Structure 1
Amino acid sequence: MTVSEVPPAFRLAYVPGVTPTKWVRIWNERLPEVPLTLVAVPAAEASDLLRAGGADAGFVRLPIDRTDLSAIPLYTETTVVVIPKDHLMAAVDEVSTEDLADDIVLHPLDDPLDWEHRPGRPAIERPATTADAIELVAAGVGLLVVPQSLARLHHRKDLTYRPVSGAPESRIALSWPEDETTHLVEEFIGIVRGRTVNSTRGRPPTPAQPKGKRADARGAGRKPAAGKSTGKGPQRGSGGAKAGKRGGPGKSGKPRRQS
């Protein structure tokens, strides 16, 4: 099989916390002939994977190294603190970074948040991953501040979370190698941006029809409007039945008195 005969495919990378299910479903509905393969990748390695050609496009967490990459920011996540269910903070709707000052706050090595000043008291060691930090929170070692999607990803029955004000936020973007903006990449960009299936962005335009054909198509099958001539004969004087019902020549509909 030659290169030109290889069937098209699309590889989509995604970082932890991103759920691409909705976009994959739309892709499969619109392009069933092009299989889409999902590639899970740690957030810190996403840009290198795309740059190396390991995926055609991917959902990443900003900021990333934008060298040779294009990116479209999609949404910003709420930042939350993960706490045991019996923690005092579980009784409130929201906390601030100042509220965390007396607690040990874990900062894993794969922390996706860009902190200027990390809140709380530091742990003796930094956990290697967010998953490890979640286990430590469950063990009562400390608290963890993460994007809400990661709190949901690592959900446990003995833990809960609350929004944190004053904390940095994580932004999700769709990224791809800027020199590899193929028609399939354009198709996926359209899906993510909510373009309809009839959108011409990224598709070859439909050839225009001659004016005469368009006019014929518009007129075909239409019925003449009521009261308009069809060209088959005059309209006036043919409504005898209706005229009779109105009482003949007298305007009032009553017979005229003979003198």
Structure 2
Amino acid sequence: MAAAIVAVLAVVAILVAGLAVRLATDPLADPTAASASPTAPAVPMAPAPAPELTTPTPTPTPDPPTPQESFHNGEREQPLPDPVPLSTALPPFTDQYPDPTDWLASTGVTGITVIPTDDPTLNCGLTDGNITYAGCYQDQHRMVVFVWWNADSSEAERTFLVAHEFSHWVQWDRYFDVIYAAAQQGFNGTPDWRGLLESDASCRVLSWGGYDESVVASSSTPCTTEGWYEGWFLDRARAIGVQF
């Protein structure tokens, strides 16, 4: 009996010693604390904030180009036939410049192509019955002027021809809004409007100097005003009733 009691006391002594070691190494240990239950409810979390609603910014629709912008951007261009019709070869444009494009470039005008053709749909000057030289500028071929001449034409007539058609290019480039307004208002084809276009083009050529005045005066498109100035086109357009 005494031996059994001694054995129990020995076990108790061992347990007490173990508890003492634990308390010595972990001062926060609480021998009376209960372990957490795996089924205990979790601490409630604050609800997540609702997503912020934003209104998408609409992408602005660009304004369509104006007719003038379409013209200068080349959006009105029409393809040329390939090759451009020319029923017979033409005499050299000048002795120094057989190609009229080269001659025009020699005057300081670059980027314009001068195309010889006797196709009346391209060279509208032929529809006027011109039999020596004729030319045309068409806005759907913005950087081109169409010309034609034969062996009976002089060098002075040919250079005036190309300069005159280039002067029409200047009109379209500078005064597109006026020309467009005139077309919308029914002036195209009227004698006043045609006379304005042709006289302004020829007077401008004479203002550049170096062209034969007698050739201009005897052409189908003479300069009909004295004292021409850049801006005469605008003033004359208003005078005949074009609103712009």
TM-score in same-fold range (> 0.5): no
Q: Which has the higher helix share?
A: 2
Q: Name the TM tier (shorter chain).
A: under 0.3
The one of the two structures with greater contact order (alpha-carbon pairs below 8 A, sep at least 6) is 1
